[in-house]
Amino acid sequence: VRIDREIENNQKEYRIKVGGRIYDIERIYVREEDRLMEVSLSYAN
């Protein structure tokens, strides 16, 4: 499992909008061998 540390250190630049609500991406876990990615989100202010 690989954790993308660049996301954790710079959350203001890594945001997504889902259903009209904006979220910060807290961290991303990647299992490349399984082609699987898990994203942890929090509400943006």
Six token digits for residue 17:
């909008």
Q: Tell me: the pLDDT tens digits for 1-45?
A: 666 666 666 666 788 899 999 998 888 888 888 999 888 899 987
Alpha carbon distance 43, 6 (integer Å): 19
In degrees rounded to 5, what are phi and psi of residue 30? -125, 125
Give the predicted TM-score (pTM) of the model: 0.63
pLDDT of 15 reads 87
DSSP state of 12: G
pLDDT of 2 reads 66
